[in-house]
Structure formats: structure tokens, C-alpha cells
Amino acid sequence: MLAWFRELNSKEKQAMGACFGGWTLDSFDLNMYSFVIPSVIAAWALTKGEAGVIGTVTLFVSSVGGWFAGALADRFGRVRMLQLMILWYAVFTFLCAFAQNFEQLFILRALHGFGFGGEWAAGAVLMGEVIRDKYRGRGVGMVQTGWAVGWGLSAIVYTLLYALLPEAIAWRALFAVGLLPGLLVFWIRRHIEESPIFLERRRQKPALGAAHVFSAFRRDHLWTTIKITVMVSGAQGAGYAVGIWMPEYLRTVRHISATGTGGFLLVQILGALIGFLIGTYLSDIIGRKWTFLWSAILTLIMIPIFMFAPINNFGLLLLGIPLNIAILMKFPPMGPFMTELYPTDVRGTGQGFCYNAGRAVGALFPAAVGFLAQRLPLGSAIVVFGVAASALMIVPLLFLPETRGRALEELEAAPVPAGAGRPLTAD
């Protein structure tokens, strides 16, 4: 199953290691907020809508961070921006431990979001360019499993801190631990080299103008950029509608304790890890588009089943595994898919904008869940927006090409037309 990994050279493996670490710790820092929502609501008498807005602003600002970090990665290099963005989000997660009110936490989580979005933009492009065409889907997809690992680590640390400390202190200690990812930067500086395709392109075309940040909106890329952004919006919206509100749902609707919620979420994270692995291999076996479609359809089905099935908490515990498989299997193909749609000069900007603008639109869904939950039961609010987001993802997929197996060198000669590519088949 991992025989392909042994065929990778040392540069490919080191790039995977750096991006896996960055993505793991990115997830570790981001998911902390979902665990502390009940605590900050209690500490500052926030409404669910206000708590949702803090989650939303993080994701919304990440779109700006991803867009600009992607453009800067096209200009100054993928590795340099990867280091800067990891350090950025680690510092601002740490500072969240000292927030004294809603306004301060809102600003600090917004600034955290800038680095959170930028890290993915730089790392995904680096991976897509370093890993050879044959293994790009599996390589980038395997790195994506770091999201589940980081989520699991945050759940473990949350459970330990809430078991050992009073809740009023534990949530601050959880944010303070978020500084640790910054240590990864020192390893990256020592071991990771810039991607050869980027260095060669810079030698041929050394300067990019200030207007480069808008390069993904040129006429030959605009339609592709719009479609990918809408697709990612649906994918992210469904994931955030469920993921950000899951701890609150378990504690207030299912009446599970704080430590019990941590254990409950670890089982769901197992489902997420399985989903990432399935998506990683399906991406190269049946193609990027079919993996996206199956994930969107299964997510649309599983969210109502999870929220409305008349089962006890143990049954719900088990049901969390297929729910998270469905939601998360769509993410491993996203990096390779976007890498294979943009030429080198535009790749960082295109991927950074599409993924993170989609994340920004998706970020509206947890806030919408919070406000709707003031009128409907929380489970019903999650279903409404989770299903809507999944349906939104499916529409643009019908008009996007299949890119499995595409060599990046093909993209340098001429732009890929928006409708070009393999037909939607599972061969």
C-alpha cells in the first residue's frame, strides 16, 4: 500500500515531511477554538451567534492570507513563505491565551487566520511541484492526513488540560500551547530546498509585477478560478458547519461532559483519518472529480442521519466514523487538482486564492448555523447548512476538467482551457 513512498527521492520525502508538519500543526492551532467555544460562551456570556462570528472571522481572513501568501510564494519562493506563515499563526494562537473579551479574541483569531490560510497556499504548491506526476495525488493526499493528526492532538491536549485545570484556566492554557508549532520553522530552514520548477521559471522570468496578485483573474484563468472557488466553498462550508459546532452539539444537546466530548471527538477524528486515506488513494485511482463527487453526495446523506437518527450516545459515537469519512475524503485531491490547473507563474496565486476564498465563503456557514440555532435546535441548523453546502459543491464540478496524471510542464506552453481535460469517467 505504501510501496510508492519508497520510490520517492529524499527531496520529495523531506518536502512531504515539512508540509505534513505544517498542516498538522495548522490543524492543531485552528481546531483549538472549536473546543473552547463552550468555555468562552460561559466566561463572557456570549451568544452562539457571537461565538460563531469568531470562528468565521478566522476563516474569512484566511482567504486574504492565502491569496497574498500565494502571490508572494510566486514571487519570493514557496519555502520562504511556508516558514513565515507557520511562525505567524503560532504566535497569534499563543496571544489568544491573553484575550480579555470578545473584541480582543475576535482580532487575534482574525490575525491567526492570515497565517493559517497562507501556510496551506505555500505548502500545497511546494508539494504539488516537488512530487512527481505519477505520485502527486497520493503524496499531497498523504500530507493532508496531517489535518486529522493535528485535530487529534488538539483533542488530546484539550482533554488533558480540562481534566487537570479549572475550565477558566484550561482554555487559556490550550491556546498558549499553540506557540509550539513555531519550532518547526527551524527544521524547515535547515532541510527543505525550493522547488526546482519554481527556480527554473524564476531564472527564465525573474520579475513579477505588482499586478501579479490578480493573475488568477486574467481572462485565460478567470472561469477556472470562479468554478474552483465555488466548489471549495461548498466543501469547506459543510465541514465547518459540522466541525466547529460539534463540541457544542455534544455538550449541550447530547449532554456529554467536557472530557467525554474529547474522547468522543477522538473517535470522529479516526473517521477523518480514514477519510483522508480513502480520498488520497481514490484521487489517483478513479480521479479527482469522482472523489469530490462521491464525498459531496455521501456528506449530504450522512449529516441528516447523524443529527436525526434516534440512537443512543454509543450509537452516535460509531456513526461519527462514516460521517467524517464522507466529509474529509474530498480534501486530499484539492491540492493536486489545483496544481494541475495553473501554470507555475500563477500557481501560488491561483491555489492560494481559490482554496482560501472558498474557505472564506465556507466560513459564513458556522456563523449562519449559530444564528439559526437561536431559532431552531442546533442539530437542525447544522443539517440545513451542511446539506446546502454539499449541494453547492456539486454544481461547479459538472463543469471542471479531470486532471489526473497531467504533467506540469504541459501547463507552461499554453493556458489550459476551462473545459479541457479528461472526461468524467472512472476508468
Give the domain extent around 179.
10-413
Task: With both helix axes pointing from N to C terminus, report the angle between 258-285 and 313-328 in degrees, rounded to the nearest 10.
Answer: 30
Pick from 401, 309, 332: which is nearest to 138 by CA? 332
- Residues forming beta bridges with residue 422, ordered by sequence position: 402
Q: How far apart are the C-alpha atoms of 290 and 282, rounded to whole Å? A: 8
Residue 422, domain member (yes or no)? no
Q: Is the dihedral of CA 214, 216, 219, 220 positive or negative?
A: positive
- The secondary structure element, H or E, covering residue 377 is none
Which pLDDT score, from 0 to 100, does residue 210 have? 47
| Alpha helices, DSSP H, located in 373-403 | 378-397
Q: How far apart are the C-alpha atoms of 387 and 303, rounded to whole Å? A: 7
Residue 25, domain member (yes or no)? yes
Give the CATH number for residue 104: 1.20.1250.20
CB 62 within 8 A of CB 352: no
Residue 4, domain member (yes or no)? no
Q: How far apart are the C-alpha atoms of 121 and 62, rounded to whole Å? A: 10
> What is the CA angle 29-32-33, rounded to 5?
115
Q: How far apart are the C-alpha atoms of 147 and 261, rounded to whole Å? A: 19
Which pLDDT score, from 0 to 100, does residue 226 have? 93
> What is the CA angle 119-122-127, rounded to 5?
115
Residue 115, domain member (yes or no)? yes
Phi/psi of residue 402, nearest 5 degrees: -85, 140
Which pLDDT score, from 0 to 100, does residue 301 have? 95
Residue 2, domain member (yes or no)? no
Can you list the positions of beta strands (E) in 212-298?
none
Number of structural domains found in the chain: 1
CB 162 within 8 A of CB 32: no
Residue 418, domain member (yes or no)? no
CA 368 to chain centre: 19
Q: Is the dihedral of CA 188, 192, 196, 199 positive or negative?
A: positive
**Mind listing the pLDDT tens digit of every residue in the chain (427 residues)?**
667 788 888 888 888 888 888 878 878 877 788 788 888 888 898 887 788 788 778 877 887 888 888 888 888 888 888 888 888 888 998 999 999 999 999 999 999 888 878 887 788 788 878 888 777 878 877 887 888 888 788 888 888 898 899 988 999 999 998 888 778 777 887 778 888 877 877 776 655 554 467 778 888 889 999 999 999 999 999 998 898 788 788 888 888 877 777 777 778 888 888 998 899 889 888 989 999 999 999 999 999 999 998 888 888 888 989 999 999 999 988 888 988 888 877 888 888 888 888 888 887 888 888 889 888 999 999 999 999 999 999 999 999 988 887 777 666 654 444 444 444 443 3
CB 52 within 8 A of CB 370: yes
Residue 119, domain member (yes or no)? yes
Residue 424, domain member (yes or no)? no
Q: How far apart are the C-alpha atoms of 117 and 65, rounded to whole Å? A: 5
| Helix, strand or coil, per DSSP, at residue 258 | helix
DSSP-assigned letter for residue 56? H
